[in-house]
Structure 1
């Protein structure tokens, strides 16, 4: 990764919410770490996170640039049914290109059982200005549907193109309307493993003939968002919003570094807002007792992380630093003692005050419920698909109960299209006899979206 100046990085802040009090013999410590970034949105043309060794024979983006984007458009045969689907995909891609700020590097890839360069071609990235945007729109008019679907080939081509970028933000937008039928699941998993950490990617499924788990897996591995656009007419608005968000990113490859003292074990680390994302298995060891968890790129935004550690038992009256959470940039080799961009401390204090040690921290309790909500939806839908209707009713009923208790109104509305709610407070529901494919897929795709704790 390239060197850079921290003066061009958004300002980060860290807040820790926990009940630090433990009873005698208590060892489990949980905390919600809220990370906020402000003042982002541009990198000043510095190669923040740009790949070392990128070719130097290409035109360098002018000052103000710092992003590279590759849009991957499904052009398989199914995109022709209905014929308006391909037209909406072309229009949406054109709208996304129109949203690029001047100086942004970009390319468009067509995806079938192969991956093709639509614009600019020759293994290059174009630099956005009035002329290149017009040329890209003209190239899109030549897109047509035909062939199969092998998404791994699209991602590998996007990776090769983005590798040529000197920009900070390397981002993909992927649109598919069908299942990944022309390569094995193992091939796609292998591709995702090979490009993980090299760029982020938002994935979208259009219509209702694609596989939710495939699209979610792509977004999860590449730290992007996943969603459904059931009506192709909604693609333009969705693509425009996605590209606006990419243009608002200010720094890439930020990591959440967790340092723990001797004897402390990390139980799990997961993002819990705005979506639930398991990060525990993505730890990279950076120093003795310190490991980094990837968080991707940041603009002006706030995210919440749930950290759980297991500390050695201690006597009443003792206290200790259970963990230190900090935000760091690529190349920060300061180890566990580095404060990075911002840091927060997670503490453990042993007390014989039963009221203090048994009190539930509101943030920890809330996000524990939100993670359970996401699991209950997934398990309920899987049970429904397998014909286990009693199990589906129980799990989806629990999901309704959790959504009601936490005030997650969006998820509650999606659940109401799959079950008839008798009593939300108790989770009493009946499965609907018929459910539209779009409604079931929307609930599954958005099951990990959470609602934040309401400020008192």
Structure 2
């Protein structure tokens, strides 16, 4: 298995509170390096590749999907357990046949899988929950492996929301799933739910011809993971309340509802599998009022391996009350940066929802504000996409929604809003 990676945990915050302040904010930067990452085949891994083969995938789409799935198989390293699922209103294992267990990746089994993939045809409906359920059953036979699924769809889920929701809830935390949406007929909100439940990413593949490269990249990233799971264990004092725990980089992911109680004051928050990574988390603790000069530990954060309960890094979130306004009003740059990124995401989501509901006034206000915020925070990519949806008259400053917006531009704006930019060194 090789040496284990080294984890570091750094905490950025302004600990000083005015006497009437209640909230302590901190950004935790977690990084992993060295150790197992240098090994050629470090960890047992299990991979399920899920391809949408519903009727809407006919023609060029199914051809590109076959190439993409073959590229993913090709990227599997020797010894990894794997299977390929074709998804319609049902889920079917197309390799290895007969809904068997996963098989080990070898040059021979990869070639067999690629042959099976080359025979995929498009027909039927779309039931993403069924696909995930089958992937979950296959992966659960490998409890010690890093378990990952890669899902691609071009359509809208035909399942009832409560059925889909129950599958996501049932399998949440059992494996990581990264999703890709193709074309302009899928619903970002559905893959966002998959990403949130399965601690994965979801991306928009705008050009069908780029699909194979996306599949290859996601599979290679999955192959580089060496730690199956890591929990953020957060303790807060009896008189305090942990308001939220959110991943804020590289993407926004709210972990607050995923808490597992360790004891009344401590909870574990899953972070998924790790390779050579850097991620950042925003923590907010509500504390009772304190006396001037008093300092408390508002939170104690540990990085814990759930399988062994080993603590691999830890740090403190502090609070100290002061009557010095210069101290208490200073906002930590990193906290401010990620608060702004979260606000930008929310404005875009609210604006697009209002636009879809026909509320032009609310949509215009939110998207114009988002455009302003994107420009201020150096998110040129997001600002450019917002300009395709909302225009601002430079003379009057009046914003209005553009009429004929390309559906792909809207989807790109929607999916891209969960990705954040890091605070540049020169800004910190």
Q: Deviations over 1:122-146 (max 9, x none)?
A: 4211111111110111111111011
Q: Deviations over 1:141-190 (max 9, x none)?
A: 11101111111111111011111225431000111111111x21111110
Equivalences for residues 32-431 of structure 1 within 5 A:
32-39=27-34, 64-80=42-58, 83-122=59-98, 123-165=100-142, 167-181=144-158, 183-332=159-308, 340-422=311-393, 429-431=399-401
Contact kept, 8 Å, 2:36 with 2:42, in 1: the verdict is no
Counterparts of 1:232 and 1:198, CA distance in 2: 30
SS where residue 253 of structure 1 aligns? coil
Contact kept, 8 Å, 1:42 with 1:66, in 2: the verdict is no
After superposition, the CA RMSD in angstroms is 2.0
SS where residue 230 of structure 2 aligns? strand
Query: Using a 3 Å threshold, how does the CA distance of structure 1 residues 329 and 414 change in structure 2: closer, same or farther?
Result: same
Counterparts of 2:219 and 2:148, CA distance in 1: 10
Counterparts of 2:119 and 2:37, CA distance in 1: 33
Cα distance, 1:96 vs structure 2? 0.7
Which sits farther off after the overlay, 158-167 or 269-278? Answer: 158-167
Q: Deviations over 1:200-234 (max 9, x none)?
A: 00111111111111111111110111111122111
Contact kept, 8 Å, 2:258 with 2:269, in 1: the verdict is yes
SS where residue 430 of structure 1 aligns? strand
Cα distance, 1:64 vs structure 2? 4.2
Counterparts of 2:43 and 2:267, CA distance in 1: 31
Counterparts of 1:18 and 1:178, CA distance in 2: 43
Counterparts of 1:86 and 1:427, CA distance in 2: 46
Aligned pairs, number: 425
Give the corresponding residue for 1:53.
Answer: none
Query: Using a 3 Å threshold, how does the CA distance of structure 1 residues 261 and 202 change in structure 2: closer, same or farther?
Result: same
Gaps of 5+ in 2: none
Gaps of 5+ in 1: 46-62, 335-339
Cα distance, 1:41 vs structure 2? 6.0
Contact kept, 8 Å, 2:14 with 2:332, in 1: the verdict is yes
Query: Using a 3 Å threshold, how does the CA distance of structure 1 residues 64 and 454 change in structure 2: closer, same or farther?
Result: closer
Cα distance, 1:370 vs structure 2? 0.6
Structure 1 segments (4+ residues) deviating >4 Å: 40-45, 421-424
Give the corresponding residue for 2:419.
Answer: 449
Query: Using a 3 Å threshold, how does the CA distance of structure 1 residues 427 and 140 change in structure 2: closer, same or farther?
Result: farther
The two structures have a TM-score, normalised by structure 1, of 0.89
Give the corresponding residue for 1:56.
Answer: none
Cα distance, 1:383 vs structure 2? 1.0
Counterparts of 1:415 and 1:256, CA distance in 2: 35
Counterparts of 1:320 and 1:427, CA distance in 2: 47
Cα distance, 1:39 vs structure 2? 2.3
Q: Deviations over 1:221-252 (max 9, x none)?
A: 10111111122111011111111110111111
Query: Using a 3 Å threshold, how does the CA distance of structure 1 residues 427 and 130 change in structure 2: closer, same or farther?
Result: farther
SS where residue 252 of structure 1 aligns? coil
Counterparts of 1:282 and 1:427, CA distance in 2: 43
Query: Using a 3 Å threshold, how does the CA distance of structure 1 residues 293 and 427 change in structure 2: closer, same or farther?
Result: farther
Counterparts of 1:428 and 1:284, CA distance in 2: 48
Cα distance, 1:25 vs structure 2? 3.5
Contact kept, 8 Å, 2:37 with 2:276, in 1: the verdict is no
SS where residue 297 of structure 1 aligns? coil
Contact kept, 8 Å, 2:43 with 2:146, in 1: the verdict is no
Counterparts of 1:392 and 1:40, CA distance in 2: 49
SS where residue 269 of structure 2 aligns? strand
